[in-house]
C-alpha cells in the first residue's frame, strides 16, 4: 500500500483542476481556485457498498414519481399493490425494503384514514419489488381491518448487496 504525505496538492498549472484517478477512472475532482468537490468520493451507485440501492417517493393515486434514485417506474397492479421497477437491477433478490404509505386525506367507507401505514414486500425480484400497502389505523380509535388502500404517498428505500 502506498502513502502520500504532503501539505499541498495542485494541478500542473495554477488554474488546473486536481483529479484523482484509479484504473484510469476519475474518482475525485477538485475544481481549480475553489473549495468545490466536483466528483463525490462515494458517488451514488447500485454497486457501492453500504448504500441505499434504490429509493422513491411517489403518488400512489396517479403513480407519479416525485423523486427517486434507481427507480424507473411504479406499476399499479391493483388497489394497494404496486411494483417498483428498478432502473438498474439488484445483484440478487436478498434485499430489504423499508418505507411507509400514507392515505392521509382519503377515505375508506366514509371514515378518514390518517397517518403512516405499513406495507410488505411480495416475492422480491432483481428487476423490481412488489409491495402491498395496507391500512391499519382508521380514525376509529386505532382499530384495524387490515384492508388495502390507495395511498396518497408511497415512500420506499431498498438496501441489499
Per-residue pLDDT of the chain (161 residues; tens, 9 = 90+): 678 888 777 777 777 888 888 888 777 777 776 666 655 555 556 666 678 899 999 887 787 899 999 999 988 888 778 889 999 999 899 998 888 877 654 444 444 444 456 667 788 899 999 888 765 444 333 334 455 567 778 888 999 87
Give first-to-last CA distance, the chain, whole Å. 27
Q: Is the dihedral of CA 101, 106, 109, 113 positive or negative?
A: positive
Under 8 Å between Cβ of 31 and 38 = yes
In whole angstroms, what is the distance from residue 140 CA to residue 150 CA?
19
The residue among 74, 79, 76 whose CA lies nearest residue 56 is 74
Report the C-alpha gap between 49 and 25 in whole angstroms. Answer: 18
pTM reported for the whole predicted model:
0.60
Pair 150, 113: CB distance under 8 Å: no
Could you tell me the three cell numbers for 18?
486536481
Strand-pair partners of 111: 108
**Of 21, 139, 16, 127, residue with least CA distance to 75:** 127
Between strands 18-22 and 128-133, the pairing is unpaired
| Alpha-carbon gap, residue 85 to 66, rounded angstroms | 15
Q: Cβ(136)–Cβ(144) under 8 Å?
A: yes
User: Alpha-carbon distance 69 to 39, whole Å?
Assistant: 18
Amino acid at each position: 500500500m502506498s502513502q502520500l504525505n504532503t501539505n499541498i496538492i495542485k494541478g500542473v498549472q495554477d488554474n488546473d483542476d486536481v483529479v484523482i484517478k484509479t484504473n484510469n477512472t476519475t474518482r475525485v475532482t477538485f475544481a481549480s481556485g475553489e473549495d468545490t468537490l466536483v466528483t463525490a468520493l462515494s458517488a451514488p451507485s447500485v454497486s457501492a457498498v453500504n448504500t441505499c440501492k434504490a429509493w422513491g417517493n411517489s403518488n400512489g393515486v396517479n403513480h407519479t414519481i416525485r423523486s427517486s434514485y434507481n427507480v424507473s417506474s411504479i406499476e399499479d397492479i391493483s388497489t394497494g399493490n404496486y411494483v417498483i421497477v428498478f432502473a438498474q437491477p439488484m445483484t440478487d433478490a436478498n434485499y430489504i425494503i423499508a418505507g411507509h404509505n400514507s392515505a392521509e386525506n382519503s377515505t375508506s367507507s366514509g371514515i378518514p384514514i390518517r397517518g403512516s401505514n405499513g406495507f410488505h414486500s411480495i416475492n422480491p425480484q432483481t428487476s423490481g419489488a412488489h409491495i402491498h400497502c395496507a391500512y391499519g389505523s382508521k380514525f376509529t380509535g386505532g382499530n384495524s381491518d387490515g384492508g388495502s388502500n390507495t395511498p396518497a404517498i408511497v415512500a420506499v428505500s431498498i438496501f441489499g448487496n
